[in-house]
Amino acid sequence: MPYLDDPLIIFTDLDGSLLDHHDYSWKPAQPWLDKLATANIPLILTTSKTSAEVTALQAALHLTHQPYIAENGAIIHLPPGWQTSEQESVHVMGACYRDIRQALVDLRQRYDFEFRGFGDVTPKQVAVWTGLSEAQAELAMQREASEPLVWFGNDLDFSHLKKCLSREGLALTRGGRFWHVMGTDAGKGQAVQWLSAQYRQQRGAPVTSIGLGDGPNDLSMLEAVDYAVVIKGHHDHQMPVNHRNNSQVFRTTEFGPHGWCQGLDHFITLSQRENV
Final residue belonging to a domain, choices 133, 160, 183:
183
Q: According to the model, what pLDDT value does residue 7 have?
A: 85
Q: Give domain status of residue 41, yes or no.
A: yes
Q: According to the model, what pLDDT value does residue 194 have?
A: 92
Paired sense of beta strands 249-255 and 227-232, if any: parallel
Q: Give domain status of residue 176, yes or no.
A: yes
Is the pTM for the entire model greater than 0.85?
yes
How many domains in the chain? 2
Q: According to the model, what pLDDT value does residue 84 have?
A: 56
Q: According to the model, what pLDDT value does residue 236 have?
A: 76
Q: According to the model, what pLDDT value does residue 85 have?
A: 47
Axis-axis angle for helices 30-38, 256-267 (nearest 10): 40
Final residue belonging to a domain, choices 166, 183, 200:
183
Q: Give domain status of residue 1, yes or no.
A: no
Q: Give domain status of residue 2, yes or no.
A: no
Amino acid found at 266: H
Rg of the chain, C-alpha, whole Å? 18
Are residues 205 and 219 both part of a single domain? yes
Neighbours of 52 (CB within 10 A): 16
Are residues 102 and 178 both part of a single domain? yes
Are residues 141 and 156 both part of a single domain? yes
Q: According to the model, what pLDDT value does residue 271 have?
A: 40
Are residues 198 and 88 both part of a single domain? yes
Q: Give domain status of residue 160, yes or no.
A: yes
Max distance between CA atoms of the chain, in angstroms, equals 61
Pick the catalytic residue from 13, 15, 20, 218: 13
Paired sense of beta strands 227-232 and 208-213, if any: parallel
Helix and strand numbers (H, E) in the chain are 10, 12
Q: Give domain status of residue 3, yes or no.
A: no
The enclosing domain of 113 has a CATH number of 3.30.980.20
Neighbours of 18 (CB within 10 A): 30
Sign of torsion over alpha carbons 155, 161, 162, 163: positive
Are residues 65 and 200 both part of a single domain? yes
Are residues 53 and 125 both part of a single domain? no
Q: According to the model, what pLDDT value does residue 193 have?
A: 94
Are residues 122 and 173 both part of a single domain? yes
Low-confidence ranges of the chain (pLDDT < 70): 1-5, 83-88, 244, 269-276
Are residues 86 and 104 both part of a single domain? no
Are residues 116 and 223 both part of a single domain? no
The enclosing domain of 33 has a CATH number of 3.40.50.1000
166 close to 184: Cβ distance less than 8 angstroms: yes
Final residue belonging to a domain, choices 183, 199, 227:
183
100 close to 146: Cβ distance less than 8 angstroms: yes
Q: Give domain status of residue 275, yes or no.
A: no
Are residues 179 and 103 both part of a single domain? yes
Residue 209, phi-psi category: left (phi > 0), alpha (psi -120 to 50), beta (remainder): beta
Are residues 101 and 179 both part of a single domain? yes
Nearby residues of 10 by Cβ (< 8 Å), 6 or more positions away = 36, 41, 42, 43, 44, 209, 210, 211, 212, 264
Q: Give domain status of residue 151, yes or no.
A: yes
For residues 223 and 230, what is the distance between their CA atoms, to the nearest angstrom? 11
**Residue-number span of the structural domain to which 227 is assigned:** 8-92+187-267
Are residues 201 and 238 both part of a single domain? yes
201, 207, 210, 216: CA torsion to nearest 10? 40
Assess whether 112 carries a catalytic annotation: no
